[in-house]
Amino acid sequence: MSEISVPLIIEPADLEKRLSSGAILLIDLCKPEIYVRAHIPGAVHLDYAQIVAARPPVMGLMPDAARLSALFSSIGMTPGHHVVAYDDEGGGRAARLLWTLEAVGHKQYSLLNGGIQAWSAEHLPLTQEVRPHAKSDYPITGTAAAAVTKDYIKSHLGAPDVVLLDTRSPAEFRGEKRLAARAGHIPGAVNFDWVNAIDQKSHLRLKPAAELRRMLTALGVTQDKEVITYCQTHHRSAHTFIVLKSLGFTRIAGYPGSWSEWGNSTDTPVE
């Protein structure tokens, strides 16, 4: 299967023209009941729980290679596929899948801008039909630099060329809302609530690139630095990872355990 040229952030009308391409694998991460009611023709469904792992209290970890290989094989995914993912929440779950693909070295992927809301708003085709798909054998041999560990972050605290981008709500960042043993944020982190990237007036599409870049630059998030995104379980921060990638950032990574690990650890500083 030859590589095709598809934008990282794809608009509904553009995707609709490409639905017949055998090179595209369309993955739906909507709530199961939404998928059953109506989904984009040809989309296969994945439940969000299938793409994350947990070691309580640490949540949002990346499943091991064997589990991911079995999952991707079960939906007929091949290394040659260009994956397009969407969901019903503005791209958070879909972006976590795309970040996972990046972490295992699958570089051909896109996010449907606005997800099922934007698609529906343009009155594009929807179906209840679930098409059968052949299983495949998707090999995973390792992980790439898209994922960083707690120890990596600890060793880079205070580094002038590293930005820790906390994408939780301001209340979580300030420690007013506690979802782990300790409240607060990683020392030196800056706060960018992930929803600030979403245009609520445009069916949950991303805000214009220039506006996103202005907001991030004001926080010191610039392309000359390594940017590490985190939230509570690397769900919201996976979305911000894709936002950064769409803006041309190349030195970006996500922290899978995020605050569920950092805030529940006894060997991590908290601000």
Gap between the Cα atoms of 140 and 65, Å rounded: 6
C-alpha closest to that of 222 among 211, 210, 214, 231: 214
pLDDT of residue 145: 77
Going by C-alpha positions, the residue among 49, 24, 202 that lies closest to residue 117 is 202
Which whole-number Å values give the CA distances from 252 to 60, 164, 183, in the listed order? 18, 10, 25
List 231, 238, 242, 243, catalytic entry? 231
**What type of residue sits at position 171?**
A
* pLDDT of the residue at 4: 78
At residue 112, does pLDDT exceed 80?
yes
- Total-model pTM: 0.96
User: What structural domains does the chain harbor?
Assistant: 9-121 (3.40.250.10), 150-262 (3.40.250.10)
Can you give the pLDDT at residue 87? 98
Instruction: Write out the two tokens for 96.
Output: 């976590």
Query: Is 30 among the catalytic positions?
Result: no
Q: What is the pLDDT of residue 2?
A: 55
